[in-house]
Structure formats: structure tokens, C-alpha cells
């Protein structure tokens, strides 16, 4: 399927809506607002913890959710409130919390694309913890959305076509 | 009646949350699996009354694992527990042999209702 960048604004709107729903339902965290930076973004800045997953089929995008530490901590405390976290495994559960929140948001986003006949595959989330900057190659499209919540910021980056990058956002020439 | 349950999901958080919910409903979780291949092996070993299955998992996805299990055990009761809400995905899961579909985030009432439907459908 050919990548079509005109789908990005629709995916952004869907992600913003589902992020609002999932953060409220899973962690009682309100989204205060969002700023979008459409397809003229030339580099992406990843924060301390970033969860990357791919939406396949006609969407063909890698989507990276980069969380501020304060938001990860708030999510971790809420999401793990009713389960046992073994001592010493808090960091693992922080990463798992972020991965599961992103997986839920992206999965629910597919409900906003019911008119697409083809199945939209969702790859298992990959978590990276090194802050870095990724420059846009000429043949790629980057877009970004900054979602502000009452507990911190999550920056959502859109990278396409998906097959130009591996699951860790390394460029595959 | 308490059911013997296997939970297949690659998220530790989801596995633990489902375990708490299943035990809260009086069921017994006999095994967990984090990949499609592990799910098939766990099913063969434990022959549960019910299996919950995620769709996106490493090595083999939940849809393929469901098709394998149902081909080998046609009476298998498999319920997808996933965040994939696309109608096409629901249809594909039912075609693969799943008997029910629960969307995350999972709440105890939603889970209990779907378990009752899955059990009813297979009697």
C-alpha cells in the first residue's frame, strides 16, 4: 500500500481523542490541550521514555509517544494501584505501563477508521529510554503533536512511510 | 462454576489485571503466555475451559494462535481481549475461531458478561 501523508491529520485527531479517553479511564488524568506541528517538521526530539508502535495497512506510520517523567510516574502509580509490583521491578512496570497505555490508545484509534476495509495491524510496542534527536531524511515525512496533561507532556511523533525506519526509529537506507 | 483459565498477553500489566479480575469472578488462572507460540503450548498442556487472547504479540499474533488452537481443539473457547476496535479485526478474529471479543480497558462487568456469552455459545 502506498503511503499517503494526507492521512496524518486524521490519525492525529484520532490519537488526541483516544489519548483523552484512555488517560481519563485508566489513570484519571485530564488532557488540558494540544499543539500540532504538521508535515514540515525536520527533526524529532525524544524524551526520557519513548514508546514506538507501527500502524500498518493503508496508514503505514510509525508513531512514537515520548513521555515526560512526571507523566510516566503518575500513570505508573494509577495503573498499578490494584496489582502487586514486586520490589525492585518498579522500572520494568513503569515501562510496561507506558507500553500498555500506548497500545490501548493506538488499538482504539483503529475504531476511528472503520471505513477502511483492510485490517490495520498494530505492532507490539517497543520502548526506548535514551533521549535523542532524529533528523528527517529527504524521502520521509515527520509530524508532531504535543499533548499537555495535568501531570506532564506527551509528545507524539508521526513518521512515514513506515518501512523507511526500523522499530527503534533507525533509518534503513 | 469456577473456570480454568489461561491468559495470553505480552503485557505484564494486562496479565496481572486480568488475573485479579478473573480471581475476583471466582475463576482459576492456571497459566499465562506472552507469545502466540506459548499460548498454543499452554493450551495443549492445560486444556483450559477458557483462554483470553491478545492480538498483537511477538513471534506469532493472537489471531494466528487462535486459528492453530481451534484447528487442533475445535471445542476451544477463546476470547480476544484487545484494544483493536476495528470492525474488520473483530470479524477476522471470529473467523479464526474466537468465541468472543472484549475491548480494553477491561472492566469486571464487561468481562463477566462476555464470559457468560462465550460459555452459553459453546453449550
B23 Cβ neighbours under 8 A, 6+ residues apart: B29
Residue A14, pLDDT above cutoff 70 = yes
- Kindly write down the DSSP assignment for every residue of B73-114, as one continuous string: -TT--EEEEES---HHHHHHHHHHT-SEEEESSP-HHHHHHH
State what percent of residues in chain A have pLDDT above 70. Answer: 97
Domain borders along chain B are 4-121
Query: Which CATH number does A5-164 carry?
Result: 3.40.1550.10
How buried is A81 (Cβ within 10 angstroms: 0-12 exposed, 13-18 middle, 19+ buried)? exposed
Q: Does A26 sit within 8 Å of B105, measured CB to CB?
A: yes
Q: What is the pLDDT of residue A71?
A: 95
For residue B61, give how far its alpha carbon lies from the nearest alpha carbon of chain A (Å).
10
Q: Least CB-CB distance to A83: which of B16, B82, B85?
A: B16
A169 Cβ neighbours under 8 A, 6+ residues apart: A44, A46, A52, A62, A64, A128, A134, A159
- A47-97 per-position pLDDT tens digit: 879 999 988 888 889 999 999 999 999 999 999 999 999 999 999 999 999
- A102-119 per-position pLDDT tens digit: 999 999 998 888 777 777
Query: Which CATH number does B4-121 carry?
Result: 3.40.50.2300
* B13 interface with A at CB cutoff 8 Å: yes
Contacts with B58 from chain A: Cβ below 8 Å: 124
Contacts with B11 from chain A: Cβ below 8 Å: 96, 99-100, 103
Contacts with A102 from chain B: Cβ below 8 Å: none
This complex has an ipTM of 0.84
Domain borders along chain A are 5-164
Residues of chain B with pLDDT under 50: none
Q: Least CB-CB distance to A110: which of B14, B58, B89?
A: B89
How buried is B11 (Cβ within 10 angstroms: 0-12 exposed, 13-18 middle, 19+ buried)? buried
For residue A67, give how far its alpha carbon lies from the nearest alpha carbon of chain B (Å).
18
Amino acid at each position: 500500500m502506498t503511503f499517503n501523508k494526507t492521512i496524518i491529520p486524521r490519525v492525529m485527531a484520532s490519537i488526541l481523542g483516544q489519548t483523552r479517553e484512555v488517560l481519563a479511564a485508566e489513570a484519571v488524568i485530564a488532557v488540558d490541550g494540544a499543539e500540532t506541528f504538521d508535515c514540515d517538521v525536520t527533526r524529532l526530539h525524544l524524551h526520557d521514555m519513548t514508546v514506538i508502535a507501527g500502524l500498518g495497512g493503508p496508514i503505514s506510520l510509525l508513531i512514537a509517544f515520548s513521555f515526560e517523567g512526571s507523566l510516566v510516574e503518575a500513570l505508573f502509580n494509577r495503573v498499578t494501584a490494584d496489582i502487586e509490583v514486586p520490589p525492585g521491578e518498579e522500572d520494568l512496570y513503569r515501562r510496561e505501563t507506558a507500553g500498555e497505555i500506548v497500545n490501548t490508545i493506538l488499538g482504539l484509534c483503529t475504531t476511528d477508521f472503520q471505513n477502511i476495509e483492510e485490517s490495520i495491524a498494530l505492532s507490539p510496542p517497543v520502548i526506548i529510554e535514551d533521549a535523542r534527536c532524529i533528523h528527517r531524511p529527504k524521502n520521509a515525512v515527520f509530524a508532531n503533536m504535543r499533548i499537555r496533561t495535568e501531570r506532564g507532556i506527551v509528545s507524539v511523533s508521526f513518521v512515514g512511510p513506515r518501512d523507511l525506519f526500523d522499530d527503534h526509529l533507525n533509518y534503513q537506507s | 462454576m469456577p473456570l480454568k483459565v489461561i491468559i495470553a498477553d505480552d503485557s505484564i500489566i494486562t496479565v496481572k489485571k486480568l488475573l485479579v479480575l478473573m480471581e475476583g469472578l471466582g475463576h482459576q488462572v492456571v497459566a499465562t503466555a506472552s507469545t502466540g507460540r506459548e499460548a498454543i503450548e499452554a493450551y495443549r498442556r492445560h486444556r483450559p475451559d477458557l483462554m483470553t487472547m491478545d492480538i498483537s504479540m511477538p513471534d506469532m499474533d493472537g489471531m494466528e494462535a487462535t486459528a492453530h488452537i481451534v484447528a487442533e481443539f475445535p471445542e476451544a473457547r477463546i476470547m480476544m481481549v484487545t484494544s483493536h476496535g476495528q470492525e474488520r479485526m473483530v470479524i477476522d478474529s471470529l473467523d479464526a475461531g474466537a468465541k468472543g471479543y472484549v475491548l480494553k480497558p477491561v472492566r469486571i462487568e464487561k468481562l463477566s458478561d462476555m464470559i457468560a456469552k462465550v460459555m452459553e455459545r459453546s453449550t
